[in-house]
Amino acid sequence: MDEAVNRQRIILGTAGHVDHGKTTLVKALTGIDTDRLKEEKKRGITIELGFAHLDLPDGQSIGIVDVPGHERFIKNMVAGAAGIDFVALVIAADEGVMPQTREHLDICRLLGVRQGLIVLTKTDLVDDEWRELVIDDIRRVVADTFLAAAPLVPVSAVTGEGIEELLAELMRLAAAVEDRPLSGPFRLPVDRAFVMKGFGTVVTGTTLSGAVAVGDQVEILPAGLRARVRGIQTYGSSRETAAAGERTAVNLQGLEKSQVVRGEILVHPDTVRPTSMIDLDYFHLPGASVPLKPRSKMMVHSGTAAIMATVVSLSGQPVNPGESAYVQLRLDTPTVVLYGDHLVLRSFAWQETMGGGRVLDPHPRKHRLREYDRLLPVLDRLRRGEMAEVVAIMIAASGTAGLSAAELAGRLNLGRKKFKAILDELSSAGRIFRFEQEKQSYIDGDLFRRLQEEMAAMVAAYHRQNPMRPGILKEEIKSRLQLSPALFNSLLQKCLKEKKLVLEQEIIRLPEHQVRLAADEQQLKEAVFKVYQQAGWQFPDLKEVAGRLQVGEGELRPLISLLEKDGRLVRIRDGCYLAREAYERLEKMVVGHFRENAELTTLEFKEMVGLSRKYVIPLIEGLDARKVTMRRGDIRVLRRSV
């Protein structure tokens, strides 16, 4: 169902000044009174969001969100406008354009609404001449907005004038709304929570992306509380599923009403994560009363949430009315956003909508002013919105930590097929590299290649500093690079496959590296071997060899490693070596014992070699380690034939 669509998933939002007839209009269209609170009835104004649904004459159903018009309830208006497909800007004929008319229109623009119509209400209260003057004023106000060419329908809820024409325009607009693919993670910003008798906690909201089904596990973010979906309703009907673009009521099992508040988001567990920092492509409204200072405290409206934040102009310069800029929001409280989401910013001090914009990065790191010149081209690419570029940039920004496919999907509103196609395209082009199969983790391709070069350079430097050593221990490189085990192993395997490095046991070297000894070093090497050769099974430790040859232990270690690599010494255990000939005699003798015996005791082995326990235990344990013998309790048995 990833890319499927459903023609029922359309939301109409009202907008306009207080007492301009939005709620009355909705009732005239649907028969539903969206003012449900006692205070709303008493005061005659909408305070909270109201919801209705309308069955159009052509059979199309649309959800309606009726928003409050009073300036004191702008927060509620913004919460309701989030997720609408088109807007009905309602203007009363007797008053014309008013302050909240302009502010609501600005908010719709900032939220990315691109379609709508204008409804001129209360036409029964004015004469034709006044009506035309108001219409001219409206056209002037909307001239530079998405409603510049929108239909304008005069109506009267009292006389019924224009209702049929309005229904016809709504049908036309609904037919033109682009179907929403069921892509991206499921997100439902909660605008209401209540208890339904016999059912328990119910939350409502407009599903922004994805889909949810009865029986699903869900999570409330940022609180992190989990529940199960007991039931779903859309437009008053019970459903098994709900999807992006639908007004949705979800009955939750396992949560109390008091645990859920407006502004939180219902999601599937482990799909998205909250953020406290957002990079935003910001536009400061031309009508804003003051410029945006480089660091300003603002109220950020995201979905149904209203959060205080510090707004940082990344250029360090103020943003004047009518200008665009890149800003970083540093939120006081975490929320959930995806790339491309639209946010509205209001001044807490001035009590006005100042601007808003589109999310470029929902999980950025904290930016510094000195980084702006380097950051600018990256932000420009994010603003252009080519999804392959967006994915590549997000992976590059993750550094050596990388990003899993699941983490990426939780930042983007993309369907699975398109998302996979983008990852495949970037991988084929070498722009990203998958370094962990199970989690499908990716790292920037250029960074991965630089790490390969760094690893090879590290090995080369080790060879220069330690020419007598065969190479560097794998664990030492891993420790120096400080990479995750998955990335380090992937990096090493790639270097080995491309023959940039060679791995022998736990030693890494360059393919061309050969130990070249000076004449005196070669003599010392032979002297070391002679000590072990003469010792037979009575192997000396490093200190004894150094004492006999009167050299430092540090000089001996690389020579012993070379002798082992050459096969002339055999490691019994750390620090214990036998000359190859002595080891082979020992192994042959033990295997010969088993031709006539089923087992070998430690005492029998001691008698065979004629040595003290100091040598016996390391020798017999060495045979175990080399898989000649195997211990069973107090005896050994033959493990293999030699």
Question: What is the per-residue DSSP string for 18-70?
Answer: TTSSHHHHHHHHHS-----SHHHHHHTS--S-EEEEEE-TTS-EEEEEE---S
Q: In the structure encoding, which two tokens stand for residue 70, read together?
A: 């009073």
User: Do residues 601 and 591 make contact, with C-beta atoms less than 8 angstroms apart?
Assistant: no
Q: How far apart are CA 363 and CA 490, in angstroms?
A: 26
Task: Take residue 516 and report the two structure tokens written for it.
Answer: 């070249």
d(CA 388, CA 425): 8
For residues 40 and 42, what is the distance between their CA atoms, to the nearest angstrom?
A: 5
Q: Tokens at residue 381, please?
A: 């690419």
pLDDT score, position 157? 87
- The Cβ-side half-sphere exposure at 598, using a 13 Å CA radius, reads 1
Q: What fold, for 11-176? A: Rossmann fold (3.40.50)
C-alpha 66/C-alpha 49 separation (Å) is 6
What's the Rg (C-alpha) of the chain? 37
d(CA 372, CA 367): 8
How many angstroms separate the CA atoms of 360 and 327, rounded?
10
**Directed axis angle between helix 445-465 and helix 474-481, to 10°?**
130
Q: How many angstroms separate the Cα of 328 from the Cα of each of 309, 320, 386?
A: 10, 17, 21
Dihedral (CA of 402, 361, 340, 445) sign: negative
The CATH number for 275-375, chosen from 2.40.30.10, 3.30.70.1140, 2.30.110.10, 3.10.20.30, is: 2.40.30.10
Contacts of residue 347, defined as CB under 8 A and 6 or more positions apart, other chains included, come to 290, 296, 298, 299, 353, 354
630 vs 471: CA distance, rounded Å: 32
Q: What is the DSSP letter of 73?
A: G
Nearest CA-CA partner of 185 in 270, 264, 301: 270
* pLDDT for the residue 639: 84
pLDDT of residue 573: 84
> What is the rounded (10 degree) CA torsion for 2, 173, 62, 139?
130
Residues of each domain in the chain carrying CATH 3.40.50.300: 11-176
Burial class (CB in 10 A: 0-12, 13-18, 19+), 560: buried
Task: Look at residues 146, 85, 96 and name the one whose alpha carbon lies nearest to residue 120.
Answer: 96
Domain with CATH 2.40.30.10 in the chain: 187-267, 275-375
The pLDDT value given to residue 634: 87
Residues in contact with 574: Cβ distance below 8 Å, sequence separation at least 6, in sequence order: none
Instruction: Look up the CATH number of domain 447-509.
Output: 1.10.10.10
Query: What's the burial of 595, exposed, middle or buried (CB within 10 Å: 0-12/13-18/19+)?
Result: exposed
Q: What is the pLDDT of residue 44?
A: 43
From the list 258, 182, 271, the residue with the least C-alpha distance to 221 is 271
d(CA 255, CA 339): 29
Asked whether the beta carbons of 308 and 297 are under 8 A apart, the reply is yes
Buried b (16+ CB within 10 A) or exposed e, 29-38: bbebebbeee
pTM of the model: 0.78
Looking at the DSSP bridge assignments, the partners of residue 573 are 576
In angstroms, the Cα distances linking 444 to 360, 400, 406 are 19, 8, 16
Q: Which residues does the chain have with pLDDT short of 50?
A: 1-7, 37-47, 69-70, 73, 642
- State whether residue 365 is helix, strand or coil: coil
Task: Kindly state which CATH superfamily the domain 187-267 is placed in.
Answer: Translation factors (2.40.30.10)
Could you give the residue range(s) of every CATH 1.10.10.10 domain in the chain?
447-509, 520-638
Parallel/antiparallel/unpaired status of strands 152-154 and 116-121: parallel
Predicted confidence at residue 551, as pLDDT, reads 85
In 10 A of CB 58, how many CB atoms?
12
**Cα separation, 343 vs 497, whole angstroms:** 48
Q: Is 284 helix (H, G, I), strand (E, B) or coil?
A: strand
Look-up: residue for tokens 């709303």? 40
CB 384 within 8 A of CB 471: no
CATH number of 520-638: 1.10.10.10
Cα separation, 566 vs 555, whole angstroms: 18
